[in-house]
């Protein structure tokens, strides 16, 4: 029997047109997008399907949009009778993992990501930030460069995506200084097109209000195990999961450690549930060739039909 993990993407996986064919095919998917539109008080579905990309990538739109597509794909795969043993999501995607594990409802998942996006946008307007992907150095070396770079301003690790792909975040000057230092150490530094310094102290002003908002949402114990961004570990208690989601806002995303944990749990089928193949790409960098596994994804009707055919 396969041990299955559902993995949910976040920012960076968006594309104009995502989810549209599932929307046209299934009533239950239309209900998810209708709920997203109603909760957001905006045409999230229209932005998803028609763009433009500039509007879609604004974090206030992107967070409910990507989440709606994730939840549509999850609903489709569950309707096909496919269940998972583990759930995990990359940053924003962790909220879809909460829904996958039955911790929060569909509507509350959308409410959480909408509030999260609004607060992050507000903080990004008040504190200009930047992010950069450092490719070719390990986490220990990047941490040393980050520590040295803090003399130039606020900078920290945002995402540990793979062994040698690490995203840094903070003030533009400090991110530029650490990026230059990384290049001097033989790495590549790739500036990211983002509107704020996500997972950094520069959005700390959102944490207290978001923590209070989390308290208004019903959390229940998970029906399958979630591997959380903050700890790269599981948690079975609903109040502790709520606390982890509050911490996640400004803490590093430990994705490399998360996948290593799933390997330790002997997961042998990884299914990326949502738009794009960003997480599948990271899995190729993390999972060793000798580790017996398969990576599949569902982001549209074609991949859904292929997945159901293969697993049925």
Calculated CA dihedral for residues 289, 87, 16, 129, nearest 10 degrees = -90
Beta-carbon count within 10 A of 312 CB: 8
Q: Is 249 helix (H, G, I), strand (E, B) or coil?
A: coil
| DSSP classification of residue 253 | B
Give the tokens for residue 194: 């983002």
| DSSP classification of residue 300 | S
CB 280 within 8 A of CB 272: yes
| Residue of 160, 199, 228, 293 marked active site | 199
Q: Which residue has the tokens 């770079």?
A: 149
| Cα–Cα–Cα angle for 254, 10, 279, rounded to 5 degrees | 65
- CA dist 279 and 271 (Å) reads 9
Query: Is-catalytic flag, 91?
Result: yes
| Residue of 13, 87, 91, 124 marked active site | 91
Q: Report the catalytic residues.
A: 91, 199
């Amino acid at each position: 029997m396969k041990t299955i993990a559902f993995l949910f993407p976040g920012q960076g996986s968006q594309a104009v047109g995502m989810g549209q064919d599932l929307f046209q095919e299934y009533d239950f998917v239309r209900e998810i997008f209708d709920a997203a539109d109603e909760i957001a008080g905006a045409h999230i579905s229209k932005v998803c399907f028609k763009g433009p990309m500039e509007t879609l990538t604004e974090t206030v739109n992107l967070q409910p949009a990507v989440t709606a597509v994730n939840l549509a794909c999850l609903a489709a795969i569950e309707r096909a009778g496919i269940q998972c043993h583990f759930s995990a999501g990359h940053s924003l995607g962790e909220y879809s993992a909460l829904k996958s594990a039955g911790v929060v409802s569909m509507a509350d998942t959308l409410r959480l990501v909408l509030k999260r996006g609004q607060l992050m946008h507000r903080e990004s307007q008040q504190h200009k930030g930047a992010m950069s992907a450092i490719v070719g150095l390990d986490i220990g070396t990047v941490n040393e460069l980050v520590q040295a770079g803090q003399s130039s301003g606020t900078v920290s690790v945002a995402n540990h995506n793979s062994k040698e792909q690490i995203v840094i975040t903070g003030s533009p000057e400090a991110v530029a200084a650490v990026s230059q230092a990384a290049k001097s150490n033989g790495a590549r530094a790739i500036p990211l097109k983002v509107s704020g310094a996500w997972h950094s102290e520069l959005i700390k002003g959102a944490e207290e209000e978001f923590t209070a908002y989390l308290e208004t949402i019903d959390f229940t114990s998970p029906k399958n195990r979630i591997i959380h961004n903050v700890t790269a570990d599981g948690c079975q208690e609903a109040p502790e999961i709520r606390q982890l989601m509050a911490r996640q806002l400004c803490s590093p995303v430990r994705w490399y450690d998360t996948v290593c944990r799933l390997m330790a749990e002997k997961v042998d089928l990884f299914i990326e549930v949502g738009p794009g193949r960003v997480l599948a790409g990271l899995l190729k960098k993390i999972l060793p060739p000798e580790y017996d596994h398969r990576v599949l994804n569902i982001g549209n009707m074609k991949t859904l039909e292929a997945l159901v055919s293969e697993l049925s």
